[in-house]
Structure 1
C-alpha cells in the first residue's frame, strides 16, 4: 500500500486503508479505546492522533464497510539503535473480529510500508506480561529481542 496505492482488499472483503481526517479518526475510536482505555472520549483521541501526526504518527485501519474492525498506529522514525525503522505504536482488533487474521494482515502491510520507506526493521513494544500478544508476535515472525525498562516520572509537589 504505502505510497503506491490507497487501499488493499483482503480475501474476506475487508479493506486496509490509511486514516485521514477527524471523521475517519472518529470511526477508529471504538477500536483504539480497547487498547488505550485512558482516552476519555472521541475528541481526545482525534486531538492526540492529530498532534502525534505532526511527529509522523499514522493510522492504518481495517474497514468492514464503514466500520473499523482493526487498526495500527505507527510511525517511520530513526534512532541510533535501529537506524531507520517502522515503529508500531498501536495494534488492536475489535473483540468480535479477533481470530480472523486482521492483526497479521496489518503487520504484513506495515512491513510492506516499512520496506517501501527504506526501513530496516519493524519494531513494537508490548508488556512482558501480555503472553497472548507475545505469542501472536512470535507467530508473525517478530523476535523477542529487546528488553525495555520503564520508570514512572512524577513532578515534585
Structure 2
C-alpha cells in the first residue's frame, strides 16, 4: 500500500506544536517555549501562515510564509521557513511546498515570492535556483543579544 501525503493549512495549537520537531532541523536554537511564544505571536499578529505536508497525522514538512507589501518588491509572499524531517528529505516535499506557494502567489497576482537562506545552505540554494529564484540582495543582521 502506497503512502499518501496531503498539503494542509496548519491551524490548531496541537498542529503548530507538532511543527517544532520539523522546525528544529532548520532552527536548532529554538526551545519548546520559544517556539510556542514566537509561532503564536507570528500567526496572531504578523499574518504568518503555516502549510504542512501530512503523512496521516504526522507533519513531515512545512512552509511558513507571510503575505506583505514592500517598497522594494511590491506585493509578495515572503517565505520564512521551509523544513522537512531528515528521514523524509530527498523525496520532493520541499519542492511541493514551494510550488504550492508559488501557485498561490500567481493566483493572487502577486509580484514575487521572496526568501532568505544561509550562505552555506547549498542544498536549499540548489532547490531555490531550480524553482526560478535568483540572487537579488544580501540580508544583513545587527544582532542585539
TM-score, normalised by the number of residues in structure 2: 0.91
Gaps of 5+ in 1: 1-10
Q: In proportion to residue count, which structure has more helix?
A: 2
- Aligned residue pairs: how many? 143
Runs of 4+ in 1 over 6 A off after TM superposition: none
- Which residue of structure 2 lines up, in the alignment, with residue 47 of structure 1? 37
Q: 2:88 aligns with which of 91, 94, 97?
A: 97
Distance 2:142 2:41 in 1: 24
- Which residue of structure 2 lines up, in the alignment, with residue 63 of structure 1? 54
TM-score, normalised by the number of residues in structure 1: 0.84
Tell me if 1:148 matches 2:134.
Answer: no
Distance 1:12 1:83 in 2: 39
Gaps of 5+ in 2: none
2:3–2:55 contact (8 Å) kept in structure 1:
no
Q: CA deviation at 1:33?
A: 1.5
Q: CA deviation at 1:153?
A: 2.8
Q: CA deviation at 1:50?
A: 1.5
User: What is the RMSD of the two structures over their aligned residues, measured on CA atoms?
Assistant: 1.6
Secondary structure at the counterpart of residue 146 of structure 1: coil
- Which residue of structure 1 lines up, in the alignment, with residue 7 of structure 2? 16
